[in-house]
Amino acid sequence: MNARRRRRGRQRAAQLLLSLMLCSGYAAAAPPHPTLRAPARSSLPRIRLIATGGTIANRAAGRLTADELLRSVPAITGIARPESEQFANAPSATLSLDQWLALARRIDQVCRDDADLSAVVVTSGTDTLEELAYFLHLTVRTDKPVVIVGAMRSPDIPGYDGGANLLAGFRVAAEPASRGKGVLVVLNDEINSAREVTKTDARRVDTFQTRGYGVLGVVDPDRVVYYRSPARRHTRRSEFDISTIKVLPRVDVALVYQGAAGDIIRSMVDQGAKGIVIAGAGAGALSGTQEEAVDDALGRHVVVVVSSRAGSGRIAASPPERAAVPIHAEDLAPLKARVLLMLALTKTRNPDDIQRMFAEY
């Protein structure tokens, strides 16, 4: 009888200890329940990391490679079968337009030719990340998720955000609901559309935001949550075929400021610009002698697009007051308008066709 009581006492003590361990966050120490097994590795999605460099890899002792980035976040192997590819390892602002074309072709190729590949994650420097992301959004023809990630702090700095952003990017890429949403930008546990996102602060980790419209979704501890989807044309529904583009035409950006002289715009035309984006004041106003220079550029068959330097807001079309009028950028910021205009000029110089593209993309 005493032996039986002692056994029961030990069993109760063991149960109490296990309950305390579970409540204290030590569930991992307990043996797994036979019916609650982790998914087989072969069932996890294959996701390729294509690294281009940037702060996320910018360690003082030498830039981290794509393989090293993956090894630095072992938790990725619990949500995907990751593989890596080193495309470049440089600051984003140093990448050339030819490299943009090559990267878009490479992503397009691996998504098209490798049926077992589920998604692609791309690392980029944050300085021009929004431009690269929008270019890929317009040119990569796939419904597979393409996710761009970066970091605001380098690996040698306390609070390095690169690992967290990379893990979040893989989680978004592995999420079935990410399919068909175009190119996604994932930093600071937020998901933004490549078309809408912009860098709003030079240093803060929450710098990438979508002004006016808000995030597409969030990356929370329990799951990836989407609240909306992009409404404009992108990726597989894009009309831009990068397989036929050998070089992107020169498109410059002219800023409007008080008393701005039009000779800068004339110089852009003289130097061979095929298109010019005006970062206009307010809803697209010009200053100084810029209006005369824009008329001159239009007369020389240079395509001019008017956008706003304000950071958000739509440029509404107005009744034409003269035969040649600039194209309106809709709600695209000047840098995004430049990306779309470069691609548009590879297909046409007809102002009506290009205005239609700005309305659709």
Catalytic residues: 55
Give the closest residue to 254 by CA, choosing from 274, 237, 233, 278: 278
* DSSP three-state, residue 12: helix
Which helix (H) or strand (E) is 359 found in, with range?
helix 351-360
Task: Answer yes or no: are the C-beta atoms of 120 and 50 closer than 8 Å.
Answer: yes
Give the closest residue to 165 by CA, choosing from 190, 131, 192: 190
Name residue 184's beta-bridge partners: 147, 193
**How far is 101 from 339, CA to CA, in rounded Å?**
12
How many other β-carbons are positioned within 10 Å of the β-carbon of residue 349?
Answer: 14
**How far is 83 from 297, CA to CA, in rounded Å?**
48
Q: Are strands 208-209 and 251-255 parallel, antiparallel or unpaired?
A: unpaired
**How far is 120 from 334, CA to CA, in rounded Å?**
27
CA angle 278, 283, 286 (to 5 degrees): 45
Phi and psi at residue 315, in whole multiples of 5°?
-90, 110
* DSSP three-state, residue 277: strand
**How far is 223 from 203, CA to CA, in rounded Å?**
28
Give 119-134 as a DSSP string: EEEEE--SSSHHHHHH
